[in-house]
Amino acid sequence: MIYRRIASAILISTAFLCAKDNSLSAQIPEVKPGILQGYLDTKTLPNSLNLIPTAPIQGSAAQELDNAVSQKYLALVGTPRWEMATRDADLSFPNAAQIFSCALGLPISEELTPHLYVLLRRTVADAGLATYTAKNHYQRVRPFMLNRKPICTPEDREALKNDGSHPSGHTAIGWAWALILAEIVPQHADAILARGRAFGESRIICNVHWHSDVVEGRFISASVVAKLHSDPQFLSDLEAAKKELASLYAKGVKSPNDCKFESAALALTNER
């Protein structure tokens, strides 16, 4: 049950399903097709229901703020920022591995950065699943169900209707990645954290989450990352990832992404 939304968000490619048996990813069991087992046992994950405030109710000041932010971002439909938010909605690998490529100035792939690639994939489960105690309890209605406006991924509409909005699982995953990457490459921390913030805001732009869902998603992911630092395998992969990226920087490898497009798209959010 708790894996439903995360599993439906991940669109498994044929190439990924045919991954080599000797890859690091292939050595980690899957909890669902395409979702690698996390580092943390589900019993040790942070309890989101104990950690975040009650979902805002209609007529409250918090809901009025959510409404205002939602209305502001609806103006971005059809813009490059909307296109970027649509890309951010895709948590499938290898696509999701490139989300922070421009912020890092490097490519991330199973071939070039195998330990980092596995680390990112495993923390999808850790950060995403940690949101579900609260999600399942509050079953908060998503913005598009009230305002009847478009969403970035209309093919997910029915699944999203049946999945609670508070807090945002996508945001928890993206912010966990941002915190981890900022630790790995502290000299690029500002750009990495800014991209992580934008990743969460993409969920508001896509009209599938409220502002408060995104804020609390970041809080949950911070709790997850704190717990991850007590896991020996996570720490081992973290150190290996640092060496992988240091090697790429030393070789002068550059990001293959269209970073000018990304910068221009993000500027649209900053202007509003």
Q: Which two tokens stand for residue 82?
A: 């909307």
Active site residue 170: yes
Asked if the model's pLDDT at residue 54 lies above 90, the reply is yes
Instruction: For residues 98 and 50, give the distance between their C-alpha atoms in angstroms, rounded to a whole number.
Output: 33
Active-site entry in 209, 211, 218, 237: 209
* Per-residue pLDDT, 268: 87
The DSSP annotation for 9-67 comes to H----HHHHT--TTSTGGGSPEEETTEE--SS-GGGS--HHHHSPPPP-TTSHHHHHHH
What's the rounded Cα separation, in Å, for the pair 223 and 129? 12
Tens of pLDDT, residue by residue over 180-209, are: 999 999 999 999 999 999 999 999 999 999
Q: Which residue has the higher pLDDT, 19 or 113?
A: 113
**pTM check: above 0.75:** yes
Residues 6+ apart with CB under 8 A from 42: 129
pLDDT at res. 138: 97
- Dihedral angle, C-alpha 117, 123, 128, 129, nearest 10 °: 140
Out of 126, 163, 213, 237, which one is annotated catalytic?
Answer: 213
Catalytic residue among 203, 211, 218, 237: 203
Phi, psi of 165, deg, nearest 5: -95, -15
What is the average pLDDT score of the chain? 92
| Band (139; pLDDT cuts 50, 70, 90) | very high
Respond yes or no: is residue 213 known to be catalytic: yes
Instruction: Please name every residue paired with 30 in a beta bridge, in sequence order, or none if there are none.
Output: 36
Domain residues of the chain, as ranges? 57-270
Q: How large is the average pLDDT for residues 247-260?
A: 96
* 57-270, CATH topology level: Vanadium-containing Chloroperoxidase; domain 1 (1.20.144)
Give the Cα separation of 208 and 102 in Å (integer).
Answer: 25
> pLDDT tens-digit profile of 207-232?
999 999 999 999 999 999 999 999 99
Q: Is the pLDDT of residue 20 over 50?
A: no
N-to-C CA span, the chain: 38
Give the closest residue to 122 by CA, choosing from 93, 99, 101, 102: 93
Average pLDDT over residues 51-72: 96
The pLDDT of residue 15 is above 50: no
- Kind and range of the H or E run holding 99: none
Q: Which of 188, 146, 17 is nearest to 93 (CA)?
A: 17
Q: Which of 121, 170, 211, 218 is catalytic?
A: 170
pLDDT score recorded for residue 2: 44
